[in-house]
Amino acid sequence: MSTTVTNTLRARSDRFEPEAELDPAEQRKLRGHLDQIDYAAYAANRAVLGQALGNVDLRAFERLAIATAHARASWVTAVVGMTEAGTALSAAQVAELAALRLAFDEMTEAYDAMRRLVERGYIHYQPKV
C-alpha cells in the first residue's frame, strides 16, 4: 500500500500489485496473508474506536460540521479584514492566518475521518429517527 500526501489530504492506493517473479500460487498465498493483515487492522480499529467513540449520531456530525464552518469563517474573515488596507501582510499576520487555516484543515480532516470511521464500520452510526 502506498500513501501520497497532497496538501493536507492523504490518498492511499490499496491495490494488490504482485511482484512479476511470483507464480500465481505464491501470489494467492501472499494475497491471503495481506488480507489477514488488513483484517487485523480492521479489528483493532473497530475495537479501539468503538470503545472510544461508541455510537455516533447525526448530532455529532452536525456539531463537528458547525465547528468546522466556524473555523473556516474565522480564517476567511481574518484574511479579508487584513487585506482591507491594500498593503502587504506582516509576518505576524501571515502566521495568524496560517494558524487559522491549520485549525480549519484539522477540523476538515477530523470530519472526514469520522465519516470514514462510519463508512468502514469502525464505529456504529445511530441514524436520526
pLDDT at residue 40 in the model = 96
Q: 67 and 107 in contact (C-beta within 8 Å)?
A: yes
Question: Considering the entire predicted model, what is its pTM?
Answer: 0.73
Is residue 117 pLDDT above 80, yes or no? yes
Is residue 58 pLDDT above 80, yes or no? yes
pLDDT at residue 20 in the model = 67
Q: 75 and 104 in contact (C-beta within 8 Å)?
A: yes
Residue extents of the structural domains in the chain: 2-126
**What average pLDDT does range 57-85 have in this prediction?**
97
Of 126, 116, 128, 2, the closest CA to residue 49 belongs to: 116
pLDDT in tens, 5-49: 555 555 665 665 666 677 889 889 989 999 999 999 999 999 999
CA distances from 69 to 47, 59, 66, 97, 126 (A): 30, 15, 5, 16, 23
d(CA 51, CA 114): 14
Residue written as grid cell 501520497: 4
